[in-house]
Amino acid sequence: MQVYAVDPFEDFHEYGELSEEEIHELHQGEFLYGDVEFGYIANSGNTKNSSFKLNGNLYQDFRYWRNQFKIDTHYADETDTETGIEDETASRYFVSAQTSYKFGIDNESFFLYGDYEVDEFNGREYTSTFVVGYGNRLFEGRKNTVDFNLGPGIVVYRVDDETELMPHEKRTEKGYLLRASLQWERNISKRTRFNQDFSYERSVSGLGHRSFSETSLISQVIEGLSLKVSYTYRYNSDPEEDKSKVDTEFGVTFVYGFD
Protein backbone atom coordinates (compact mmCIF):
# COMPACT_ATOMS: atom_id res chain seq x y z
CA MET A 1 0.00 0.00 0.00
CA GLN A 2 1.35 3.39 -0.97
CA VAL A 3 1.03 6.33 1.41
CA TYR A 4 1.28 9.87 0.11
CA ALA A 5 2.11 12.85 2.27
CA VAL A 6 -0.57 15.50 1.84
CA ASP A 7 0.25 19.17 2.26
CA PRO A 8 -2.54 20.57 4.50
CA PHE A 9 -1.87 24.02 3.00
CA GLU A 10 -2.23 22.85 -0.61
CA ASP A 11 -5.22 25.04 -1.48
CA PHE A 12 -3.72 28.36 -0.41
CA HIS A 13 -3.62 30.99 -3.16
CA GLU A 14 -2.81 34.68 -2.70
CA TYR A 15 -0.43 34.52 0.25
CA GLY A 16 1.38 31.39 -0.84
CA GLU A 17 1.45 30.63 -4.56
CA LEU A 18 1.86 34.30 -5.45
CA SER A 19 4.55 36.66 -4.24
CA GLU A 20 3.55 40.12 -3.03
CA GLU A 21 4.75 41.63 -6.31
CA GLU A 22 2.72 39.09 -8.33
CA ILE A 23 -0.36 40.00 -6.27
CA HIS A 24 0.16 43.66 -7.15
CA GLU A 25 0.62 42.77 -10.83
CA LEU A 26 -2.58 40.71 -10.72
CA HIS A 27 -4.54 43.66 -9.36
CA GLN A 28 -2.83 46.37 -11.42
CA GLY A 29 -5.35 48.94 -12.59
CA GLU A 30 -7.98 47.97 -10.02
CA PHE A 31 -9.47 50.74 -7.92
CA LEU A 32 -9.01 49.06 -4.52
CA TYR A 33 -7.87 45.77 -2.99
CA GLY A 34 -6.33 44.60 0.27
CA ASP A 35 -7.41 43.16 3.61
CA VAL A 36 -9.24 44.13 6.79
CA GLU A 37 -8.32 42.79 10.25
CA PHE A 38 -10.78 42.69 13.13
CA GLY A 39 -11.07 41.32 16.65
CA TYR A 40 -13.39 41.67 19.64
CA ILE A 41 -13.16 40.31 23.20
CA ALA A 42 -15.77 40.73 25.95
CA ASN A 43 -15.61 39.47 29.57
CA SER A 44 -18.19 39.62 32.37
CA GLY A 45 -18.20 38.75 36.06
CA ASN A 46 -16.67 40.70 38.92
CA THR A 47 -15.24 42.98 36.28
CA LYS A 48 -16.83 43.66 32.92
CA ASN A 49 -14.47 44.61 30.10
CA SER A 50 -14.34 44.66 26.35
CA SER A 51 -11.70 45.22 23.70
CA PHE A 52 -12.13 46.04 20.01
CA LYS A 53 -9.51 46.15 17.26
CA LEU A 54 -9.91 47.09 13.59
CA ASN A 55 -7.07 47.38 11.08
CA GLY A 56 -7.10 47.94 7.35
CA ASN A 57 -4.39 47.65 4.68
CA LEU A 58 -5.64 48.82 1.29
CA TYR A 59 -3.94 49.33 -2.08
CA GLN A 60 -4.46 51.01 -5.42
CA ASP A 61 -2.08 49.93 -8.17
CA PHE A 62 -1.77 51.67 -11.51
CA ARG A 63 0.85 51.76 -14.25
CA TYR A 64 3.06 54.40 -12.67
CA TRP A 65 1.54 54.90 -9.24
CA ARG A 66 0.92 52.66 -6.24
CA ASN A 67 -1.06 53.95 -3.26
CA GLN A 68 -1.29 52.32 0.17
CA PHE A 69 -3.68 53.24 2.97
CA LYS A 70 -3.54 51.91 6.53
CA ILE A 71 -5.84 52.26 9.50
CA ASP A 72 -5.16 50.94 13.01
CA THR A 73 -7.73 51.33 15.78
CA HIS A 74 -7.81 49.85 19.26
CA TYR A 75 -10.37 50.58 21.97
CA ALA A 76 -10.83 48.94 25.38
CA ASP A 77 -12.88 49.70 28.49
CA GLU A 78 -13.45 48.18 31.91
CA THR A 79 -16.52 48.45 34.17
CA ASP A 80 -16.68 47.59 37.87
CA THR A 81 -19.92 45.64 38.25
CA GLU A 82 -20.35 46.72 41.90
CA THR A 83 -19.91 50.46 41.43
CA GLY A 84 -20.92 50.72 37.77
CA ILE A 85 -17.90 52.93 37.13
CA GLU A 86 -16.57 52.57 33.59
CA ASP A 87 -12.94 53.32 32.76
CA GLU A 88 -11.47 53.65 29.30
CA THR A 89 -8.21 51.67 29.26
CA ALA A 90 -7.12 52.05 25.63
CA SER A 91 -8.08 54.37 22.81
CA ARG A 92 -5.80 54.68 19.79
CA TYR A 93 -6.55 55.70 16.22
CA PHE A 94 -3.88 55.73 13.53
CA VAL A 95 -4.20 56.38 9.78
CA SER A 96 -1.48 56.61 7.13
CA ALA A 97 -1.24 57.01 3.37
CA GLN A 98 1.65 56.54 0.98
CA THR A 99 1.74 57.23 -2.74
CA SER A 100 4.70 55.93 -4.75
CA TYR A 101 5.77 56.85 -8.27
CA LYS A 102 7.44 53.92 -10.00
CA PHE A 103 10.68 54.56 -11.89
CA GLY A 104 11.48 52.93 -15.20
CA ILE A 105 13.91 50.74 -13.25
CA ASP A 106 12.17 47.79 -11.57
CA ASN A 107 11.45 47.97 -7.84
CA GLU A 108 12.45 51.62 -7.38
CA SER A 109 10.09 54.46 -6.50
CA PHE A 110 9.77 57.99 -5.21
CA PHE A 111 7.21 58.24 -2.40
CA LEU A 112 5.18 60.67 -0.32
CA TYR A 113 4.09 59.43 3.11
CA GLY A 114 1.87 60.92 5.81
CA ASP A 115 0.29 59.66 9.04
CA TYR A 116 -1.90 60.93 11.88
CA GLU A 117 -2.24 59.34 15.33
CA VAL A 118 -4.51 60.02 18.29
CA ASP A 119 -3.73 58.09 21.48
CA GLU A 120 -5.65 59.06 24.61
CA PHE A 121 -2.99 57.53 26.88
CA ASN A 122 0.34 58.82 25.55
CA GLY A 123 -0.07 62.41 26.75
CA ARG A 124 -0.44 63.88 23.26
CA GLU A 125 -3.57 65.21 21.62
CA TYR A 126 -2.21 64.12 18.24
CA THR A 127 1.02 63.26 16.41
CA SER A 128 1.48 63.66 12.66
CA THR A 129 4.39 63.09 10.27
CA PHE A 130 4.99 63.83 6.60
CA VAL A 131 7.90 62.28 4.69
CA VAL A 132 9.25 62.31 1.11
CA GLY A 133 11.88 59.85 -0.03
CA TYR A 134 13.17 56.89 -2.01
CA GLY A 135 11.93 53.30 -1.94
CA ASN A 136 13.51 50.09 -3.22
CA ARG A 137 13.01 46.35 -3.06
CA LEU A 138 16.28 45.16 -1.60
CA PHE A 139 15.63 41.45 -2.15
CA GLU A 140 13.11 39.35 -4.03
CA GLY A 141 13.28 35.56 -4.02
CA ARG A 142 10.93 32.63 -4.35
CA LYS A 143 9.82 32.88 -0.72
CA ASN A 144 11.17 36.20 0.56
CA THR A 145 10.77 39.87 -0.29
CA VAL A 146 12.40 42.81 1.52
CA ASP A 147 11.29 46.41 0.86
CA PHE A 148 13.00 49.53 2.18
CA ASN A 149 12.00 53.22 2.32
CA LEU A 150 14.11 56.17 3.44
CA GLY A 151 13.50 59.90 3.48
CA PRO A 152 13.42 63.20 5.40
CA GLY A 153 10.28 64.77 6.76
CA ILE A 154 8.59 66.79 9.46
CA VAL A 155 6.74 65.85 12.65
CA VAL A 156 4.09 67.91 14.44
CA TYR A 157 2.49 67.02 17.76
CA ARG A 158 0.40 68.72 20.41
CA VAL A 159 0.62 67.90 24.12
CA ASP A 160 -2.82 67.41 25.68
CA ASP A 161 -4.24 70.04 28.02
CA GLU A 162 -4.00 67.77 31.08
CA THR A 163 -0.19 67.63 30.91
CA GLU A 164 1.70 70.33 32.77
CA LEU A 165 4.49 71.98 30.80
CA MET A 166 7.83 73.36 31.91
CA PRO A 167 8.34 77.09 31.32
CA HIS A 168 10.49 76.48 28.22
CA GLU A 169 8.13 73.89 26.68
CA LYS A 170 5.50 74.51 24.02
CA ARG A 171 2.18 72.73 23.79
CA THR A 172 2.60 72.33 20.04
CA GLU A 173 6.00 71.19 18.76
CA LYS A 174 7.29 70.95 15.19
CA GLY A 175 10.58 69.48 14.03
CA TYR A 176 12.46 67.71 11.26
CA LEU A 177 13.20 64.01 11.11
CA LEU A 178 14.67 61.16 9.10
CA ARG A 179 12.41 58.13 8.64
CA ALA A 180 13.37 54.61 7.56
CA SER A 181 11.03 51.65 7.18
CA LEU A 182 11.57 48.00 6.32
CA GLN A 183 9.09 45.26 5.42
CA TRP A 184 10.07 41.62 5.19
CA GLU A 185 7.58 39.04 3.94
CA ARG A 186 8.27 35.30 3.89
CA ASN A 187 5.97 32.63 2.47
CA ILE A 188 6.24 29.72 4.90
CA SER A 189 3.76 27.47 3.12
CA LYS A 190 0.90 27.70 0.68
CA ARG A 191 -1.39 28.90 3.46
CA THR A 192 0.91 30.71 5.84
CA ARG A 193 3.12 33.78 5.62
CA PHE A 194 5.33 35.65 8.03
CA ASN A 195 5.50 39.47 8.10
CA GLN A 196 7.93 41.81 9.81
CA ASP A 197 7.24 45.55 9.61
CA PHE A 198 9.65 48.02 11.16
CA SER A 199 9.94 51.81 11.07
CA TYR A 200 12.30 54.24 12.78
CA GLU A 201 11.98 58.02 13.03
CA ARG A 202 14.95 60.06 14.23
CA SER A 203 14.40 63.72 15.03
CA VAL A 204 17.09 66.17 13.96
CA SER A 205 15.40 68.91 16.02
CA GLY A 206 15.94 67.48 19.49
CA LEU A 207 12.50 65.85 19.77
CA GLY A 208 13.82 62.32 20.34
CA HIS A 209 13.11 59.26 18.23
CA ARG A 210 10.32 56.74 17.74
CA SER A 211 10.29 53.16 16.51
CA PHE A 212 7.55 50.70 15.59
CA SER A 213 7.70 46.96 15.02
CA GLU A 214 5.01 44.42 14.18
CA THR A 215 5.84 40.72 13.91
CA SER A 216 2.98 38.60 12.61
CA LEU A 217 2.05 35.16 11.33
CA ILE A 218 -0.98 34.90 9.03
CA SER A 219 -2.59 31.60 8.07
CA GLN A 220 -5.66 31.04 5.92
CA VAL A 221 -8.61 29.37 7.67
CA ILE A 222 -11.09 29.36 4.79
CA GLU A 223 -11.14 31.11 1.44
CA GLY A 224 -10.79 34.84 2.00
CA LEU A 225 -10.49 34.54 5.79
CA SER A 226 -7.22 34.16 7.70
CA LEU A 227 -6.08 34.06 11.32
CA LYS A 228 -3.37 36.49 12.39
CA VAL A 229 -1.15 36.25 15.47
CA SER A 230 0.91 39.39 16.05
CA TYR A 231 3.23 41.14 18.48
CA THR A 232 3.51 44.94 18.27
CA TYR A 233 6.21 47.08 19.89
CA ARG A 234 6.15 50.89 20.06
CA TYR A 235 8.96 53.00 21.50
CA ASN A 236 9.14 56.74 22.16
CA SER A 237 12.44 58.03 23.57
CA ASP A 238 10.89 61.30 24.76
CA PRO A 239 7.43 60.55 26.21
CA GLU A 240 5.30 63.04 28.08
CA GLU A 241 5.59 63.27 31.88
CA ASP A 242 4.67 60.05 33.74
CA LYS A 243 4.22 58.15 30.46
CA SER A 244 6.06 54.94 29.57
CA LYS A 245 8.56 54.83 26.73
CA VAL A 246 7.37 51.41 25.59
CA ASP A 247 3.96 50.09 24.54
CA THR A 248 3.50 46.43 23.57
CA GLU A 249 0.52 44.52 22.27
CA PHE A 250 -0.15 40.84 21.59
CA GLY A 251 -3.12 40.11 19.34
CA VAL A 252 -5.02 37.24 17.75
CA THR A 253 -7.40 38.52 15.07
CA PHE A 254 -9.15 37.55 11.86
CA VAL A 255 -8.08 39.00 8.50
CA TYR A 256 -10.48 39.25 5.56
CA GLY A 257 -8.92 39.71 2.13
CA PHE A 258 -10.86 41.19 -0.76
CA ASP A 259 -10.38 42.43 -4.31
Q: Do the bridges between strand 225-236 and strand 47-61 make them parallel or antiparallel, or are there none, so unpaired?
A: unpaired
Residue 200 and residue 213 in contact, taking contact as beta carbons nearer than 8 Å:
no
**Which residues share a beta bridge with 113?**
98, 131
Confidence (pTM): 0.80
Taking the C-alpha atoms of residue 20 and residue 223, their distance in angstroms, rounded to an integer, is: 18
Residue 51 and residue 14 in contact, taking contact as beta carbons nearer than 8 Å:
no
Tell me the pLDDT of the chain (259 aa) as tens digits.
333 333 333 333 344 445 556 666 666 656 678 889 998 877 776 678 888 899 999 988 888 888 999 999 998 888 877 777 778 888 899 999 999 998 866 678 999 999 999 988 888 889 999 999 999 988 888 889 899 999 999 999 998 877 777 777 788 889 999 999 999 999 998 889 999 999 999 999 888 899 999 999 999 988 889 999 999 999 999 887 778 899 998 888 999 987 6
